[in-house]
Structure 1
């Protein structure tokens, strides 16, 4: 029997900042280009102007920081100020994956966890079976880079 790799992963970084300060960064998608090594800009779309469940935005992506760029449609799926910000990536008819941030007050600061979860449909499972280990490593490195860049801004 073939054991499929887990369809997600997460990275956590402790930040010397309040949950409110961290929230302002993770929920402002227009700032993602300052932090992410792959998504170099994003903008609210379809009349959305800020973080709330059901809000839409697009992320402009350059996979692994090289190659052609493309826009990914996103929809906010969880939005609890100072606790969780999550969004799906895909189209109106199909979600490919989900990304998010969990914020936890800890030791006078905030433990920030960035995570992703691949949707478990057949095409995604096949993709993950073939490219999962490589993509997981890239995603983990990207999440760590994103969180470390946020930490630097918040703690400066």
Structure 2
């Protein structure tokens, strides 16, 4: 049981894009465009007076879980924001973070290796959830990240 509770609480997918980091950055850091790419988050908007990507900025993502439901708004806060390098945000309330999502950009072979990742917070409830549903949810997230990145690739390479 101990080994199950300490399995990695996240995963990542990398897709190479034939575009410079500056072009990819404009896409991954504009949360208002996520509905064009994500199979689960069909819209997002800046909230609490935030108007763009910077550490501490708030936004909300409108999610249709597994692409079928339930549908809900997820409050998010930008936690890392280094232009052309990393854009990361937490999902949860001001007092409880459930999950973290992000994009890492690395200039590579005349283009950009773009890595989307998620990392669950290592609380006991999250570890128990991950022990039971982690493999299924991780597969869903990996599939969704690949879809998101491939859709972004199609836009930046067009």
TM-score interval, normalised by the smaller of the two chains: over 0.9
> 1: CA distance between counterparts of 2:2 and 2:55?
37
Match of 1:3 in 2: 3
Match of 1:42 in 2: 44
* Structure 2 unaligned regions, length at least 5: none
Q: Deviations over 1:100-127 (max 9, x none)?
A: 0000000000000000000000110111
Match of 2:154 in 1: 152
1:67 shift after superposition: 2.0
Q: Deviations over 1:48-88 (max 9, x none)?
A: 00000000000000011002210000000000000000000
TM-score, reference length from structure 1: 0.98
Match of 1:20 among 22, 27, 30: 22
TM-score, reference length from structure 2: 0.97
3-state SS of 1:48 partner? coil
RMSD: 0.7
> 2: CA distance between counterparts of 1:87 and 1:99?
6
1:23 shift after superposition: 0.2
Match of 1:78 in 2: 80
1:6 shift after superposition: 1.1
Q: Deviations over 1:19-68 (max 9, x none)?
A: 00000000000000000000000000000000000000000000110022
> 1: CA distance between counterparts of 2:69 and 2:86?
32
Q: Does 2:123 correspond to 1:115?
A: no
Number of residue-to-residue matches in the alignment = 156
* Structure 1 unaligned regions, length at least 5: none
> 1: CA distance between counterparts of 2:123 and 2:69?
27
